[in-house]
């Protein structure tokens, strides 16, 4: 139950590394039980669980593109955690496909995969999770992106997927309030993770850091802090919000 600030059951997608891993660590440090849903093989599960504070954490191996596998994966997570209180839709992919530079086959594949993971995958996990969340109320927090607002000229399917996820956030905030489920999003700018390692190397990295007047990009823990707040009991009234976490690099 979200009234409890500890001991909640939290499902985080894409939490084997990066921002998702920081989110998993943030909840675990607060005394919550975390299920990591990711493509990682079972052999990696023990190491991930061992890296989290507290106990009761689990890893569920699933591919968000495999819609048929998701109901069992989410049910497995909820079964092992003892229900669900919080879902964080964090998993995402980001692969360049500039419209004037890629062939039609690559273009189609990038749109299929990017929307498939970032938007449809999140929508499907959410459908599966709501069956559990509506039993006692809860929180859904989606990890979208600054790119949904600013545009992604080299990664247009990514920008569209995150704009779609923002829209899904707002629609479900309305649909699920009667079930005491609040739905919100964080929209980060650049964050230092494996996803962005190449981009953040000089010289492109220098230009990216200069986008913020702070002259840097975010650390994953800064995004996790925002997600943790939006999942808190005090954040029910933040339902429907999209929290910009971009170091004033893009103001809207
Ligand atoms: N890093 C950034 O600059 C940045 C900025 C804005 C938003 N985001 C968003 O934050 C989220 C996390 O990004 P990150 O930087 O930690 O990325 P990352 O690539 O480091 O980690 C992504 C995780 O998602 C998992 N994943 C990817 N596809 C999957 C699939 N089909 N099924 C299951 N799991 C899958 C990966 O295995 C990985 O563990 C993403 O949604 C991303 O779009 C990142």
Domains annotated on the chain, with CATH: 9-244 (3.40.50.720)
Q: What average pLDDT does the chain have?
A: 96
What pLDDT is stored for residue 43 in this prediction? 85
Say which residues have a Cβ less than 8 Å from residue 63's Cβ, sequence separation at least 6: 39, 69
Please, which pLDDT band fits residue 1 given cuts at 50, 70 and 90? very low
The finding on whether 244 has its CB within 6 A of some atom of ligand 1 is no
> In angstroms, what is the span from residue 92 Cα to ligand 1's centroid?
4
Position in ligand 1 atom list of the atom nearest CA 188:
6
In 3-state terms, what secondary structure has residue 40?
coil
Query: Residue 189, CB half-sphere, CA atoms under 13 Å: how many?
Result: 22
Backbone angles phi, psi at 36, to 5 degrees: -90, 120
Catalytic residues: 158
Position in ligand 1 atom list of the atom nearest CA 13:
34
151: left (phi over 0), alpha (psi -120 to 50) or beta: left
User: Would the pTM of this model clear 0.75, i.e. be above it?
Assistant: yes
The finding on whether 145 has its CB within 6 A of some atom of ligand 1 is yes
In the chain, which residue ranges form alpha helices assigned H by DSSP? 18-29, 42-50, 70-81, 104-115, 122-133, 147-150, 156-176, 204-209, 220-230
């Amino acid at each position: 139950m979200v009234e409890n600030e500890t001991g909640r059951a939290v499902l985080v997608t894409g939490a084997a590394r990066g921002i998702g891993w920081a989110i998993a660590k943030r909840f675990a440090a607060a005394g919550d039980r975390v299920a990591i849903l990711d493509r990682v093989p079972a052999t990696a599960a023990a190491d991930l669980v061992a890296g989290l504070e507290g106990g009761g954490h689990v890893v569920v191996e699933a591919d968000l593109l495999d819609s048929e596998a998701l109901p069992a994966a989410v049910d497995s997570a909820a079964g092992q955690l003892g229900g669900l209180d919080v879902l964080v839709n964090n998993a995402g992919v980001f692969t360049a496909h500039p419209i004037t530079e890629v062939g039609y086959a690559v273009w189609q594949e990038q749109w299929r995969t990017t929307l498939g993971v970032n938007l449809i995958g999140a929508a499907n996990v959410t459908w599966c999770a709501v069956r559990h969340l509506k039993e006692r109320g809860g929180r859904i927090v989606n990890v979208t992106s600054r790119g949904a607002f600013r545009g992604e000229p080299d990664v247009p399917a990514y920008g569209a997927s995150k704009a779609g996820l923002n829209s899904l956030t707002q629609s479900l905030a309305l649909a699920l309030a009667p079930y005491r489920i609040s739905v919100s999003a964080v929209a980060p700018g650049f964050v230092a993770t494996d996803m962005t390692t190449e981009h953040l190397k000089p010289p492109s990295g220098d230009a990216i850091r200069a986008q913020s007047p702070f002259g840097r990009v975010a650390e994953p823990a800064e995004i996790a802090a925002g997600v943790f707040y939006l999942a808190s009991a005090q954040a029910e009234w933040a339902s429907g919000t999209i929290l910009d976490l971009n170091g004033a690099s893009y103001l809207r």
